[in-house]
Amino acid sequence: MDRAAAERTLDQLWSAGRAFLGCRYAIMGGAMSWVSERHLVAAISNAGGFGVIATGSMSPDLLRQEIKGTQALTKQPFGVNLITMHPDLLALVDVCIAEKVGHVVLAGGIPPGDAVKKVKDAGIKLVCFTPALSLGKRLVRMGADALVIEGMEAGGHIGPVSTSVLAQEILPAIRDVPVFVAGGIGRGEAILSYLEMGAAGVQLGTRFVCATESIAHPNFKKAFIRAAARDAVPTVQLDPRFPVIPVRALVNKGTERFLDKQREMIGRVERGEIELKPAQLEIEHFWAGALRRAVIDGDVESGSIMAGQSVGMVNSEQSTADIIAELIDQAFGALTSRARAGAA
């Protein structure tokens, strides 16, 4: 199999994902708070992938500025990731509608019906995350136009099931909408394997953190380049009364401080100084400030270095275009090697 034949095969495998996203390669950029802003998002889209703005806790005005800033850097399609728990979720959706965003990703929980209706009525393509087959089917019934399944190998907030298990459970069962696979993907051979299992495309986050277009602080990028897969571990929950969502990050003093924060809140609840729910929110909010300190300020000692296990495959700073080209070359290489082996 020559490269042209390999390209045709790959194009066929992710044709549904390419058509849905409207891009050359069905590779979505994971929405990483403080990292997935206009420069990286535009670079991914300009390189043939599909960039996604991470809204995080942005206000509607800030999101409007970020969308306009991204549009100034690329004419290619990109999406916006909105957190379902955001207090101004509907206003953020209104901004996406006004700025003619083509795809909205609702993440962080089951999307509220009014937000789904607003997105759908505007003709925007809706993408939702699912950690289980049953929820995936429910989201499709609610109106999701595509799904992302993300395994526990991913960075940031994670679920309990690995990418490979989720793919085996969900890909054969959901065929009526495109399904993108995420979590622990760092090479083109893995992309190819999930496409052959039935995925419409993939989503990568960690692999793009050290892109030259990424605004992440040099210290943050150095921490990624030095790290091995085993260095990215999930946080520990100290008390079942405080069911915090695990966060995968590189171990540092910030990890220890998160444990201290849990101990502090547990003690305050037991002393009657604070109610359970506000205490749990304080624990969750710990990560917002800690992540910014690491990504923007470069405090990789006490900040949060959220990273997926594919961090061990990040070995240098590269342009986004080179990262995507490398992934595609690896997928082509796997296809041609297999063809040679079959012909032998």
Main-chain phi, psi angles of 254, to 5 degrees: -60, -35
Residues 268 and 208 in one domain: no
135: containing domain: 3-215+315-339
User: Percentage of the chain surpassing pLDDT 70?
Assistant: 99
Residues 69 and 27 in one domain: yes
**Does residue 14 surpass a pLDDT of 90?**
yes
Q: What is the pLDDT of residues 110-142, one digit of tens each?
A: 999 999 999 999 999 999 999 999 999 999 999
Asked whether residue 305 is domain-assigned, the answer is no
**Does residue 298 surpass a pLDDT of 70?**
yes
Residues 259 and 180 in one domain: no
Asked whether residue 70 is domain-assigned, the answer is yes
Distances (CA, A) of 316 to 142, 184, 306, 326: 42, 18, 18, 13
pLDDT, residue 244, reads 76
Task: State how far the Cα of 195 lies from the Cα of 186, in Å rounded to an integer.
Answer: 14
Token couple for 233: 């571990």
Asked whether residue 169 is domain-assigned, the answer is yes
**Does residue 288 surpass a pLDDT of 80?**
no
Residues 118 and 244 in one domain: no
Query: What does pLDDT average to over the chain?
Result: 95
Task: Classify 110 as helix, strand or coil.
Answer: coil
Residues 276 and 149 in one domain: no
Average pLDDT over residues 202-227: 98
pLDDT, residue 344, reads 61
**Does residue 214 surpass a pLDDT of 90?**
yes
Task: State how far the Cα of 147 lies from the Cα of 56, in Å rounded to an integer.
Answer: 20
Residues 240 and 324 in one domain: no
Cα-based angle 148, 152, 154 (whole degrees, multiple of 5): 70
Q: Among 143-152, 160-169, 241-250, 280-289, which is the least confidently predicted range?
A: 280-289
Task: State how far the Cα of 9 lies from the Cα of 13, in Å rounded to an integer.
Answer: 6
Average pLDDT over residues 222-245: 91
Q: Looking at the 3D structure of the chain, how many domains does it have? A: 2
Asked whether residue 303 is domain-assigned, the answer is no
